[in-house]
Chains A and B, each alone.
Chain A
């Protein structure tokens, strides 16, 4: 079974609008970490935001926020005020400490920001 599911292969958003990228995860552990990474067309992986499973508040980093719904096992990324430079692949990932340093990535969502 897939541990990380990103159901939106591609998304479009108008510049300056907000967009939500979906991520659901599957784990039986109580302690885990959730990450979002951005991969522009140049290929590098850029860390965006982190949410720990015991964090009571949703994580925020500038224009990025993580909508964490633990009971639903979802960790959606919200990008506010989209910019043309936000066009990229976005990956959700999970770290499960009980499996050593095993990180699992989702298949990604390609976001295109329209002018």
Chain B
């Protein structure tokens, strides 16, 4: 099993450009999450999904959109990138029962110039 994978691993964007980050999991998890991690701070939740076709806002959703068309995939979109969105982005997934332990992907390092 690959667990949680993220594509791409690195990306540099110019201000105003758009891009989509792809997260895939093969553990049949119901819940999926997108976080950002900035220096000196812990992870902050951007959006999450409790099932196919449903998404919800987290702590810092502005400037991002998400979609969950298939259970195994969770996409994070930046429509018009800004330098403030320079960060490391982590995707995670968990079951909807038990302790909700999250399994994380390796992260995507995004730089917006």
Which residues of A come within 8 Å of B, CB atoms? 4, 33, 35, 43-47, 50, 52, 91, 93, 95, 100-108
B42–A44 touching, CB < 8 Å: no
B42 contact set on A, CB distance < 8 A: 4, 91, 93, 105-108
Contact with A along B62-101 (1 / 0, CB 8 A): 0000000000000000000000000010101000000111
Q: Return chain B residues, CB-CB under 8 Å to A52.
A: 99
Q: Is the CB of A47 within 8 A of B103?
A: yes
The range of chain B's interface size is 20 to 34
Number of A-B contacts (CB under 8 A): 57
Bound Cα distance A44, B58 (Å): 21
Among the listed B35, B44, B106, which residue makes an inter-chain contact with A43, where contact means beta carbons less than 8 Å apart?
B106
Main secondary structure of the interface of A (DSSP, over half): strand
| A33, B106: Cβ atoms closer than 8 Å | no
Let me know if A47 and B106 touch, CB within 8 A. Answer: no
- Taking A33-B100, A102-B45, A102-B48 as given, write out 8 further A-B residue pairs in contact, using a Cβ cutoff of 8 Å, ordered by the A residue number: A4-B42, A35-B99, A45-B43, A50-B101, A93-B42, A100-B56, A104-B45, A105-B43
Which residues on the B side are within 8 Å of A45 (C-beta)?
A: 43, 90, 92, 102, 104
